[in-house]
Amino acid sequence: MPAKLIVGLGNPGPNYENTKHNLGFWVINELLLKLQLDRLAPSCRSLIVRTEWHGSEVIFAKPMTYMNNSGQAVSMLVQKFDIFPHNLCVVYDDLNLDVGVLRMRKAGSDGGHNGMKSIIHHLGTQEFPRLRVGIGKTGGVWMDYVLSEFSPVEREDIDWAIPCAVDAIETFVTDGVQTAMNRFNGCSPPRNDS
């Protein structure tokens, strides 16, 4: 069975560790915790771990290229592990969704996200699944916003969303992107429910 590649986007280094833009890293960290995997190894300008999960070979990766060059690492991983586009899932933060809201898609544009812009450029396609986790909009400078930390109230919503994102990724691995979309699109923290 072909391998699946799950990539969480973020920026390496302690200065960025707790910022909104590192939400993809947080989801990968939670997945590794769930699977009791803690030995990430350097490969293809990323930190990766390979495992078997639900009968599939799965590679979890955190690119170490900084966000704007994520595509360099992802394209190297795709080539090295012979990943089909439909078996790649990229997890990242999204300004266009309310804090903690999940949205899985089969394909699409970069939506203004520089990490996704780089990945689409380097892969030469936007036809691959992605899981977006909302970080909310700001009226200020977006770069300052994405590189800031969550407020305590926002962090409650994110702490709710991360396990849901893990469940969405697990569903993607076991049942495919369409089932993950059906189950998790529109999921939002309890405080956002109408």
List residues with catalytic annotation.
Answer: 21
Count of residues in the chain: 194
Nearest-angstrom CA–CA distance, 91 and 23? 8
User: How remote is the C-alpha of 5 from its chain's centroid?
Assistant: 11
Structure tokens at 140: 């200020």
Nearest-angstrom CA–CA distance, 98 and 157? 10
Amino acid identity for residue 9 in this structure? L
* DSSP string across 64-124: -S-GGGHHHHHHHHHHHTT--GGGEEEEEEETTS-TT-EEEESS---TT-HHHHHHHHHHT
